[in-house]
Structure 1
Amino acid sequence: MNLLLDPLVQRMLIAGVVVGVAAPIVGTYLVQRRMALLGDGIGHVALAGVAAGWLAGSLAGFAQRDALALPGAVIFAVAGAAIIERMRSRGTAAADVVMAILFYGGIALGVLLIGASGGTSTNLLGYLFGSISTVSWQDVWVSVILAGVIIAIGLGLRRALFAVTHDQEFASASGLPVNVLNMVVAVLAAITITVSMRVVGVLLVSALMIVPVAIAQLLTHSFNRTMLIAMGIGAALTLIGIAITLYVNLQPGALIVVIGVATYAIVATTAAARRKRRARIAS
Structure 2
Amino acid sequence: MGIFEQLSGYLSFSFVRYALIAGVLIALCSSLLGVTLVLKRFSVIGDGLSHVAFGALAIATVLHLQNNMILVMPVTVLCAVLLLCANQNAKIKGDAAIAMLSVSALALGYLIQNLFSQSANVSGDVCSTLFGSSSILTLSKLDVWICVGMSVIVMAVFFLCYHKIFAVTFDETFASATGIRAGVYNFLIAVITAVIIVLAMNLVGSLLTSALIVFPALSAMRIFRSFRGVILSAAVISVVCAVGGILISILASTPVGATVVAADLAVFLLCCGIGAVSRR
TM-score relative to the length of structure 1: 0.90
Q: Distance in 1 between matches of 2:24 and 2:94?
A: 35
Whether the 8 Å CA contact 1:48–1:107 is kept in 2: the answer is yes
Deviation, structure 1 residue 271? 1.8
Tell me the matched-pair count.
Answer: 268
Partner of 2:118: 118
Partner of 1:105: 104
Q: Does 1:157 align with 2:157?
A: no
Whether the 8 Å CA contact 1:16–1:199 is kept in 2: the answer is yes
Partner of 1:81: 80
Q: What residue identity is the alignment partner of 2:214?
A: I
Q: What residue identity is the alignment partner of 1:54?
A: T
Once the two structures are overlaid, the 10-residue window that deviates more, 71-80 or 205-214, is 71-80
Runs of at least 4 residues off by over 4 Å: none
Alpha carbons of structure 1 residues 53 and 93: separation in structure 2 relative to 1, 3 Å: closer
Deviation, structure 1 residue 71? 2.4
- Residues 125-146 of structure 1: CA distance to partner in whole angstroms, max 9, x if unpaired? 3321112112222211111111
Once the two structures are overlaid, the 10-residue window that deviates more, 211-220 or 117-126, is 117-126
- Residues 170-198 of structure 1: CA distance to partner in whole angstroms, max 9, x if unpaired? 01111111111111111111000000011
Q: What residue identity is the alignment partner of 1:210?
A: V
Percent identity at matched positions?
30
Deviation, structure 1 residue 122? 2.9
Q: Structure 2 matches for 1:198-277, cutoff 5 A?
A: 198-276=202-280
Partner of 1:55: 62
Q: Does 1:20 align with 2:27?
A: yes
Deviation, structure 1 residue 269? 1.4
Q: What residue identity is the alignment partner of 1:43?
A: S
Give the gaps of 5 or more residues in structure 2. 1-7
Whether the 8 Å CA contact 2:223–2:274 is kept in 1: the answer is no
Alpha carbons of structure 1 residues 140 and 126: separation in structure 2 relative to 1, 3 Å: farther
Q: Distance in 1 between matches of 2:78 and 2:60?
A: 15
Give the gaps of 5 or more residues in structure 1. 58-64, 277-283
Once the two structures are overlaid, the 10-residue window that deviates more, 241-250 or 68-77, is 68-77
Q: Distance in 1 between matches of 2:147 and 2:192?
A: 13
Q: Secondary structure at the match of 1:75?
A: helix
Q: Distance in 2 between matches of 1:233 and 1:273?
A: 19
Q: Secondary structure at the match of 1:194?
A: helix
Alpha carbons of structure 1 residues 169 and 185: separation in structure 2 relative to 1, 3 Å: same
Q: Distance in 1 between matches of 2:96 and 2:89?
A: 15
Q: Distance in 2 between matches of 1:189 and 1:95?
A: 15
Whether the 8 Å CA contact 1:48–1:76 is kept in 2: the answer is no
- Residues 63-107 of structure 1: CA distance to partner in whole angstroms, max 9, x if unpaired? xx5x23222221221111111101112333454433322101111
Q: Distance in 1 between matches of 2:244 and 2:277?
A: 26
Q: What residue identity is the alignment partner of 1:208?
A: L
